[in-house]
Structure 1
Amino acid sequence: MSTNATLVDQISVCQVVASINENVGGPAYSVTNLAQALYQHNINSHLFTLDYQCHGKQILTTEVQVHSQKASKVAKYFRGFQPQASNYLFNLAAKDLDIIHNHGLWMFPNLYARQAAVINKINLVISPRGMLEPWSLNNSWYKKWLAWILYEKENLNCATAFHATSAEEVNSIRKLGYRQPIALIPNGINIPSLEEEFSRQILIDIFPKLADKKWLLFLSRVHPKKGLNHLIDVWQSLVNQFPDWHLIIAGPDLIGYQEKLELQVEQLNLKKKVTFTGMLSGQHKFSALSNADVFVLPTHSENFGIAVAESLAYGVPVITTKGAPWEDLQHYGCGWWIEDNQQALKVALVDAMQMSERQRQVMGLKGRDLVQAKYSWNSIAQEMANVYQWILGGGEPPTCVQLYNS
C-alpha cells in the first residue's frame, strides 16, 4: 500500500459465501445485502456461491453479478467440495476482479477464494462471521482441526485485511495472532416503514395457538449455540405466572436439532405453550416481527446477531446474552444484555413480561432509533467501499480500520 492515497475509479469486488439459499439465514442475507448496497458506491459488485436447492430458493439481488453453481452431491456432504467451482472463481478473478471478499470459514469455497486471490495476485479480505469465536472453535473442534491443518490456517495467513462485525470479534482475531488490519464494520439492516404493518392473523391462521396471546419470539437458526434448551427450561418455570404469553421458536433447522427440543417441550408439558414454526420468510416473517411483544436470543456466541437488529428495526425490545455484541441494548434503553445463564434469563423475561404494553413500545422505538442511526445498509456499504479504496489506493486508513499495535 502506498503512503499517498490514489482514488480508484471503478473497483470490482467479488463476495464469496458458501450459500445464499434462504433457509440458511445469517450470512446468506447479510452478504447479499452488502453486495447489493455496494453497487451504489461505485463498486462493480459480484457474488460467488453454490446453490443448495434443498435449503430453499436463493435470495434475489439487484445490480449484482451472481455467479452460482448448483451444489453437487459431493459438495452437499463434504463442505462444499466442488473443483469445478474453484476453476470458475479462478477464471473470474483472473479477468475481472480487484478484491475477493470471503465470508465464513471451514468450507471449500473459502479455500477457493484464497487460491484465486493468491495465484492471481489480488487482495483478499476475510470476514470470519463469528467462526473464530471461542464457542464456535470448540464446537465440532475435531472437524475444524482437520480443516485448519489442510487449508484454513493458510487462508487466514493470506488475508490482506479482516472484516469484523464487533469489537469482540476483533479481539478473537488478535488473540489468534493475526496482525493484518481489521475493519470493524457491523452488519446492516433493512429498516421497515412504520406504515408497513403485517396482521397477526397471517400467523394465527397457520398456528391457532397464537390467538389471544402475547408473543415471546425467538427467530434465528435452531442450533445448540443459540441456547434454546436453556430458554425452554426457563419458560417452563414461568408459564403459570404468565398464562397470556406464548413462546414462538422460529427458524431453520439444518442439523436435526429441533427434534431434541420438541422432546424437551413434551417432557416439560409445554406443548400448549410453545410453537415451532420452522423457517419463516416473506409476510410470515414480517408478521412475526411486526407483532412480537418481546424478542429473545439466549445465545452462547454471536459475532453480530442480525436477528437482534431486525427485531429492533421493527420496534421490538430485545433480550440477549453477552455472547452477542449488543451492549447498546443497555446504552439505548431498548432491551436487556444479560449474562449467559438461566437465572439471568429468567430475571430479564420476568422484567419484560411484567411491563405494560406502553413501556415495551417505548423501548422498541428506542431500538428502532438505534438501528436507523448505526446500521443502515447505505452507511455500512460506504464504510466498506472506503476500506476497499484504501486497500487498493493506500493513504490514511479509514476510521473503521484498526491497525496492529505490538
Structure 2
Amino acid sequence: MTFFYNINCGSPFISSHTNPLRICQVVASINEHTGGPAFAVTSLAEVLANQGICSYLFTLDYQECGQQVTASGVKLHSYHANRITRYIRGFHPLASRALGELAASELDLIHNHGLWMFPNLYARQSALKYHLPLVISTHGMLNSWSLKFNHFKKCIAWLLYESKNLSSATVFHATSFEEFLAIRSLGFKQPIAIIPNGVEVENQILKSERERLVQDFSELKDKKWLLFMSRIHPKKGLENLILTWKIISGIFDDWHLVIAGPDTLGYQKKLEILAAELCLQERVTFTGMLSAQKKKIALSNANLFVLPTYSENFGIAIAEALAYGVPVITTKGAPWEDLLTYDCGWWIENTRSQLAGALTEAMQLSDREREAMGLRGRDLVKTKYSWDSIAQQMSQVYQWIFRGYDPPNCIHF
C-alpha cells in the first residue's frame, strides 16, 4: 500500500497501484449533440491512454442526443439515461453505485467534468468515500453568464450538492485565465491548473468536396460562407448575429450566413422566425447538426468563422475553425486574445456595432488576405493546442497530486 499527500488537508491519499496511474474521467454525457465537452473529454481520455495512463471514462448515454463519441484505448462505463434520468439532471442510482464500485477497486483519481448534474455529485461521493483525489473541470459553468442562465434551478443544485462538490476538489482545472478568475471569485482556494482544451489538427483540408454540402443546401452554391458552428443556444449570441446580418448583408450579396449545430433546447425555431421577420430566409441557412464528414467539409470551405458568444470557458469551436485555416471573429466573452496577438482574427466587444464593423472589415478583405490570416491561425493551433501537449500537461498535474514534487508551470495558487 502506498500513501500520497493530500494537497487540501494534509492527510494521505491511499493507492495500491501507482504505475500506470488509473484515472477516470466523469462527464454527464458524451453524446455527439450535447456540445463541446463530449468531444473534449473523450479526446483527453484517449490521448492520456496513448501516453501510458490507464484511462477510464464514466458517463450516461442520452441516445436521443446522437451517438456517443468514441475513444480508443479507454475503458468506457456508460449507463442508459432513462426517462427519470433525462428529466432529473442525470439522476441514476445504478450508475452511482457502479462508480462507487469502480472507485473502490480500480481507480487512483477521479477527474470530474462539468457541474449541476447528478454524475458530478456521484464523482464527489465516490472520491470522498474511497479517499481518492478529485480534479474538477468547470467547463465555464461558473462564469457569470452561465450562473445567471436557469438561475433558480442552479441555486437549488448549489444548496443541495454543488457547493460541497466544489469544496471537495483537490485541484480545479480551468481552460483560461478568465475561468480561473471565475473560480476564485466564488471563494475557492484550491490550486487551479490552467490548461486549454486540445484540438485535432486535420492534415487533409476537404476543399474539393464542397459540392457535397452544396447538394444538400443549393443556396450555398457560388457564395462565400460566413460560418457559425456551435450549439444553437442563447448564450452563443445568435440573435445579435442575425440582427447584425440584416444590417450588412445587402452590402455583401456574394456571402451567405450558415448556422450549423445541434439544437437541444428548441431554440432554433425562434431564430428561424426572427430571420423570416427580417426577410433573411434566402441569406441564412440552418443546417442542423452536421455529420462528422460534412462538418469537416463546412470548416474546410468556410471563408470566415463567427461566434458572437456571451460566455465561453475556452471556445473549442474557435480553435477548430483555426485548425482548418479559417479566420475567426469572436467576442470578449471568449478568452481568445490570441486572435489579435497572432493576427488571425477579430476579438471584439459584444455589441452589434462592433460585430458589424468586424464582419464588414473581414468580408472586404481579399481572399488572399483572409487565407493568410487562416494560415497564421492554423500555425497557432499546432503550436499551442495540440492534444498531445494538453494531455501531457494534465498528466503532469495528476503526477504532482501523487508525487508531491514542485508543481508544474500550469498550476496557480
TM range (shorter): over 0.9
RMSD in angstroms over aligned alpha carbons? 1.2
Query: How many Å separate the matches in 1 of 2:207 and 2:273?
Result: 35
Query: How many Å separate the matches in 2 of 1:9 and 1:284?
Result: 41
Query: How many Å separate the matches in 2 of 1:392 and 1:70?
Result: 33
Secondary structure at 1:237 match in 2: helix
Secondary structure at 2:216 match in 1: coil
Residue 188 of structure 2 aligns with an amino acid whose one-letter code is: Y
Query: How many Å separate the matches in 2 of 1:195 and 1:112?
Result: 41
Residues 116, 198 of structure 1: CA spacing in aligned structure 2 closer, same or farther, 3 A cutoff? farther
Query: How many Å separate the matches in 2 of 1:176 and 1:387?
Result: 23
Shift of 1:41: 2.0
Query: How many Å separate the matches in 1 of 2:92 and 2:205?
Result: 45
Query: How many Å separate the matches in 1 of 2:60 and 2:207?
Result: 34
Determine which structure has greater relative contact order: mean sequence separation of CA pairs < 8 Å that are 6+ residues apart, divided by chain length. Answer: 1
1:56-112 deviation digits (Å, cap 9, x = unpaired): 110111000000011111011110001110000000000000110000000000000
1:312-348 deviation digits (Å, cap 9, x = unpaired): 0000000000000000000000000000111100000
Q: Which residue number in structure 2 is paired with residue 272 of structure 1?
A: 282
The match for 1:356 among 366, 378, 385 is 366
The match for 2:70 among 30, 45, 60 is 60
Q: Which residue number in structure 1 is paired with residue 312 of structure 2?
A: 302
Residue 192 of structure 1 aligns with an amino acid whose one-letter code is: E
User: Structure 1 residue runs of 4+, over 2 Å off?
Assistant: 194-198
1:336-373 deviation digits (Å, cap 9, x = unpaired): 00001111000000000000000000000000000000
Alignment of 1:279-318 (within 5 A): 279-318=289-328
The match for 1:398 among 381, 395, 408 is 408
The match for 1:71 among 74, 77, 81 is 81
Residues 2, 18 of structure 1: CA spacing in aligned structure 2 closer, same or farther, 3 A cutoff? closer
Residue 130 of structure 1 aligns with an amino acid whose one-letter code is: G
Shift of 1:195: 5.5
Q: Which residue number in structure 2 is paired with residue 160 of structure 1?
A: 170
1:172-221 deviation digits (Å, cap 9, x = unpaired): 00010000000000000000114654511111010000000000000000
Shift of 1:159: 0.3
Contact 1:295 1:311 in 2 (8 A): yes
Gaps of 5+ in 2: 8-16
The match for 2:338 among 325, 328, 342 is 328
Q: Which residue number in structure 2 is paired with residue 108 of structure 1?
A: 118
Query: How many Å separate the matches in 2 of 1:166 and 1:195?
Result: 28
TM-score w.r.t. the length of structure 2 is 0.95
Residues 2, 132 of structure 1: CA spacing in aligned structure 2 closer, same or farther, 3 A cutoff? closer
Secondary structure at 2:209 match in 1: coil
Residue 293 of structure 1 aligns with an amino acid whose one-letter code is: N
- Name the % identity: 58
Q: Which residue number in structure 1 is paired with residue 14 of structure 2?
A: none
Shift of 1:272: 0.1
Shift of 1:40: 2.0
Residue 187 of structure 2 aligns with an amino acid whose one-letter code is: G
Alignment of 1:152-231 (within 5 A): 152-194=162-204, 197=207, 199-231=209-241
The match for 1:240 among 244, 250, 256 is 250
Q: Which residue number in structure 1 is paired with residue 389 of structure 2?
A: 379
Contact 2:305 2:326 in 1 (8 A): yes
Query: How many Å separate the matches in 2 of 1:31 and 1:198?
Result: 31
Contact 2:6 2:401 in 1 (8 A): no
Secondary structure at 2:347 match in 1: strand
Residue 260 of structure 2 aligns with an amino acid whose one-letter code is: A
TM-score w.r.t. the length of structure 1 is 0.97
Residue 217 of structure 2 aligns with an amino acid whose one-letter code is: F
Contact 2:6 2:133 in 1 (8 A): no
The match for 1:94 among 79, 104, 119 is 104
Gaps of 5+ in 1: none
Q: Which residue number in structure 1 is paired with residue 144 of structure 2?
A: 134
Matched positions, count: 400
Alignment pair present for 1:252 and 2:262: yes
Q: Which residue number in structure 2 is paired with residue 45 of structure 1?
A: 55
Secondary structure at 2:226 match in 1: strand
Secondary structure at 1:301 match in 2: coil
